[in-house]
Structure 1
Amino acid sequence: MKGFKFVETAGADILAGCGGNGCASFRREKYVPFGGPDGGDGGRGGHIILQADPNVDSLIALYYQPRQHAENGGKGMGQKRHGRNGQDLILKVPCGTIVRDETTGAILGDLITPGAQLMVARGGKGGLGNCHWKTSIHQAPTEHTKGEAGEQRRLRLDVKIVADIGLIGFPNAGKSTLLTAISHAHPKIAAYPFTTLQPVIGTIQYDTFTRLKLVDIPGLIQGAHTGAGLGHTFLRHVERTRGLVYVIDMAGSDGRHPADDFLILRDEIGRYKAELLERPALIAANKMDMPESVKLLKEFTKRTGRKPIKISALNGTGIDELKRVMAKLVLSE
């Protein structure tokens, strides 16, 4: 699975289809010179519907095409023929998409479950044909009505990724390298902070029926819970994960002690939303191929009371064990 431009927020100007106009016509057949009104009704305009699709990971389609218009209904015809209903426009969005009315700020829906649908704009009703106005004293009515306009809205869509595992760590902890090693995703990797500026999604396929979806949360910094370093933007993706993996640079490459990194990350997550601390979690002690990591790991265990899984995302050491424990972490719930 390759990396892609992840768009987590998008606006959309949507317009449902207008209803078709009703028809004013009269029955005209041989030997029936004074046939009555037979104008049919107009068709309904197409609705606009959002649908959660597990195969869609980004709002990139709406980002580049924010204006969406459903099909108008067809006009009514003679012989009381009903106009064709406009085709509904179904827009597929990622699972975990929150939909708001941009004008009022009201939340219209939260599409979490695959296949869940939300009608965000209703098509206009079709107009009435002149046959509806015929009475005993009004035998040849010409009255008919136009179709109603479709609903128009300005939407704001925000994605909170629904994933099995969230990878959390400081910039340069090696999360992107780890994601590549365990899922064959291809995020941008380099030796400077904030290489990953957007969440990257990968999948581990264990067997025919078992797979885990992972999200690499961009590197957090101290103060993330207040929004520092785009902290709020990043942390919201933690909310809908089933389990967390703290990726710790056990070599202390950036001059911080690994134990401090772990404690700061826990503090930031707890300050953002305390219940996230109760989520199943494990620690991946990364960069164990570095000579200084052995000493720092002992100090880490002593200070935190936690026993991490020792890995090297760079050379693949411990990756199979980590994958096994991650599956157990979330699939045994």
Structure 2
Amino acid sequence: MGRHHAAKFIDSLRLHVRGGAGGTGYPKYGGVGGPGGSVYVVAKEGCSLRDVVRRHPTKRVAASGGGNSQARRILGEPGTDVTVQVPVGVSVIDDCGRNLGELDADGSSVLVARGGPGGCPTNQYNGARGQAHTVTLDLKLIADVGLVGFPNAGKSTLLKAISRASPRIASYPFTTLRPSVGTVQYPDLRQLSVADLPGLVEGAHANEGLGHRFLKHVERTKLLLLVVDALGFRLSPRHRHRSCLETVLLLNKELELYKEDLLLKPAVLVVNKMDLSGADAVLRDVKAALRDLPGLLAEVPEELRPTRALQLDDVLAISARSDARSVQRVKWRLRELLDLHAEQRADPAATENQAAARLSAQTAEAGPRLV
């Protein structure tokens, strides 16, 4: 049990934080008490929320109080500030649900509990208490690419094939129970980060399955990589079998229902397990259906129909286990698209023709595309 607990991934943590009280003033000489120390949360690369628990096992963090004013020291000594190191990607939420800050860069910080002012004439020389409340540290992984799919679609196999990550892989659903991030490295030493996230189930937007614990990690990725099984998916005998195309629509709908802004992210669809019998015909049908999205959405049942469709930059066919060439094409295509969208963000006035020309040149340099 202890070993299992130690390995558990933590992406949310509540801490009680308290600033130090201000020191007492010295009325006789007009002395001012020292201000209490404050509590800050600071982002640090390589840190984890489990490290926070190790350093603060009681989950209570308090700064020291300010020193009292004395005849020999008219100005009381200030209390010592306390910093809580957290991983990059943490949102700090107070107990009223207000967002105190986003720690998206190494070294960024948020003041979470201010120390009380020292005693002085305006407060009758009585030092004030520091702020005290509970904050939630909510981690959302920051990665270039987020793998999105139903369980057993082959996300972990793909991540292992294109990166240096070693995710757990097996032929049954929910092998991935916690997010992991792999690094994709290119010959010129360029690196991309890819997050392998636990598989979705229908109803994830309403917190079914791993629900929000999965979906929140998609928010800080730059590109969505949807991975689907060419022959569809069925979670268990109690669930309906969903075809490859139905899986794509359901993933689209779950993302939309959780947070519609996710549909604005660049997205690529990967149809995996193309080595299986009948996969080629499925791929042709999926591509044809996605080319006529308005017609497709008009025909599908409401339970599958998103209000707004993801704008897919590409549809790629792979066999993550047995076709290394197809996996390499995915690897290079991700780089091309991330670079293209970075250029477009830097130059919003660029026309679609200019963007297409740049992409064509990049693609020609990297080699032929798979589809």
Q: Same fold (TM over 0.5)?
A: yes
Give the SS at the match of 2:72. coil
Give the SS at the match of 1:332. helix
Judged with a 3 Å threshold, the aligned counterparts in structure 2 of structure 1 residues 153 and 171 are, in CA distance, closer, same or farther, namely same
Judged with a 3 Å threshold, the aligned counterparts in structure 2 of structure 1 residues 321 and 91 are, in CA distance, closer, same or farther, namely same
Q: For 1:200-215, list aligned pairs within 5 A.
A: 200-206=180-186, 210-215=190-195
TM-score by length of 2: 0.71
Q: For 1:1-333, list aligned pairs within 5 A.
A: 5-22=8-25, 41-56=32-47, 58-63=48-53, 65=56, 66-80=59-73, 82-102=75-95, 104-127=96-119, 145=125, 147-206=127-186, 210-252=190-232, 254=234, 256-305=242-291, 308-315=315-322, 317=324, 318-333=326-341
Give the SS at the match of 2:210. helix
The code of the aligned residue for 1:43 comes to G
The code of the aligned residue for 1:330 comes to L
Larger radius of gyration: 1
Give how far 1:15 is off.
Answer: 1.3
Give the SS at the match of 1:214. strand
Deviations 1:91-145 (A, max 9, x none): 223333222222x3333233334433211101122345xxx8xxxxxxxxxxx94
Give how far 1:292 is off.
Answer: 4.1
Judged with a 3 Å threshold, the aligned counterparts in structure 2 of structure 1 residues 251 and 152 are, in CA distance, closer, same or farther, namely same
Separation (CA, whole Å) in 2 of partners of 1:67 and 1:120: 13
Identical columns (%): 40
- 8 Å Cα contact 1:52/1:94 also seen in 2: yes
Separation (CA, whole Å) in 2 of partners of 1:273 and 1:101: 22
Count residues with an aligned counterpart: 303
Give how far 1:68 is off.
Answer: 1.0
The structure with the greater share of residues assigned to helix is 2
- 8 Å Cα contact 1:39/1:77 also seen in 2: no
TM-score by length of 1: 0.78
Which protein has greater RCO, CA pairs closer than 8 Å, 6+ apart? 1
- 8 Å Cα contact 1:127/1:147 also seen in 2: yes
Separation (CA, whole Å) in 2 of partners of 1:9 and 1:117: 18
- 8 Å Cα contact 2:228/2:247 also seen in 1: yes
C-alpha RMSD over aligned residues: 3.0
Give how far 1:219 is off.
Answer: 0.7
Separation (CA, whole Å) in 1 of partners of 2:62 and 2:278: 60
Give how far 1:253 is off.
Answer: 6.4
Deviations 1:279-332 (A, max 9, x none): 211122222343443343333333334863233333461222212111122222
- 8 Å Cα contact 1:168/1:219 also seen in 2: yes
Judged with a 3 Å threshold, the aligned counterparts in structure 2 of structure 1 residues 264 and 90 are, in CA distance, closer, same or farther, namely same
Separation (CA, whole Å) in 1 of partners of 2:139 and 2:169: 24
Q: Which residues of structure 1 form unaligned runs of 5+?
A: 25-36, 133-143
